[in-house]
Amino acid sequence: MNAASARPTVHLIHHLARAGGTLISRCLGSMQNVVLLSEIHPLGTQVAPEFDPLFQASHWFKLLSGAEVEALRARTAALPEIIALLAQKAASQDRQLVIRGWNHLDFMPRPLDFIGKSPQGAASGRLLLSEALGATCSIRQLATVRHPASQWLSWRRFEPTSDLTLEEFMAGCCRFAAVATQLGFVRYEDFTAQPVKAMRRMCEVLGIEFDPLFIQHWPYYRSVTGDLDNLKSHQIEHRGNVTLPRDLADALRGNRDYQETLKLLGYQ
């Protein structure tokens, strides 16, 4: 067995904020053989406990004992080592480790401002989590996306005081869309229209065992970060075309990043 084949496999799903990632992650996490870590990023582990993979692994899934967590913290184990260990722990239980990346930190400027933290450098425009894990793990990955205008409207409702401008947001969406086309992607609108079909495809790409019972179990799955209060319905509601306010439609008509994002992701 060579070194590459001995590395544990992790399955990464990437999306930007307000792109339906919490719903999709709840569906993935509710599958019987999946352990899903939510919104993990090299820059985000110290933001709050819920973004720490050791916290999630021990409190949500019991993959690690308290003593194991303390030992890893005592020697300040690096994120790639921690994730490799968690993938091995999951595999020992015949489960697969899925990680939802916190990609807002990769593609939007001042990425930690919206939670009151100091920004830690400009957005890289790269998948820093994938880069960090590449040395210790074999990676299967996929992106999910949403129509950028719908995404922007959702962002403004969720973070009305954010100083992130429309131009900055669309530039981040465009950079992410370029990466998504390289990885392969599933559109949120297609997922909400046919969730079972879309989830089956996602599992095939990621190399995850598909569990059709997710469609029954996902409403009760809450071991995930994100906007859970906005997902009180037990039904997956199809999100089709959105009517844009006239001023937003005018602004987007002349925004090159927006137009390029539509082209890359196949939106009308």
Q: Is the dihedral of CA 46, 50, 56, 58 positive or negative?
A: positive
Q: Which amino acid is at 148?
A: P
**Tokens, residue 16:** 């930007």
pLDDT of residue 1: 38
Name the stretches of the chain with pLDDT < 70: 1-5, 111-122, 229-233
What was the pLDDT predicted at 113?
A: 59
Q: Which residues pair with 145 in a beta bridge?
A: 187
* pLDDT reported for residue 241: 74
The residue written with tokens 């973004």 in the block is 51
Whose CA is closest to 127, among 176, 177, 186? 176
What integer pLDDT is reported at residue 231 of this predicted model? Answer: 59
Q: Can you give the pTM of this predicted structure?
A: 0.92
Please enumerate in sequence order all residues whose Cβ is within 8 A of that of 167, keeping only pairs 6 or more positions apart, or say none. Answer: 255, 257
Contact 25, 156 (CB under 8 A): no
Q: Which domains does the chain have, with CATH numbers?
A: 3-265 (3.40.50.300)
CA gap 141, 130 in Å, rounded: 9
Tally Cβ neighbours within 10 Å of residue 3.
6
Q: 158-176, pLDDT tens digit by residue?
A: 888 888 999 999 999 999 9
253, exposed or middle or buried, with CB in 10 Å at 0-12, 13-18, 19+? exposed
Residues shown for the chain? 268
List, as own/partner pairs, every contact residues 118-124 make where C-beta atoms lie below 8 angstroms and the sequence separation is at least 24, other chains included: 120/43, 121/43, 123/172
Beta bridge pairs of residue 36: 98
Rounded CA-CA distance 31/197 in Å is: 15
Q: In angstroms, rounded to a whole number, what is the distance separating the alpha carbons of residues 186 and 180?
A: 9
Say what the pLDDT of residue 6 is: 78
Q: What is the pLDDT of residue 111?
A: 67
Contact call for residues 136 and 84 (beta carbons, < 8 A):
yes
Q: Which amino acid is at 170?
A: M
Amino acid code (one letter) for 35:
V
What is the 3-state composition of the chain as percent helix, strand, coil, each rounded to the nearest 5? 50, 10, 40
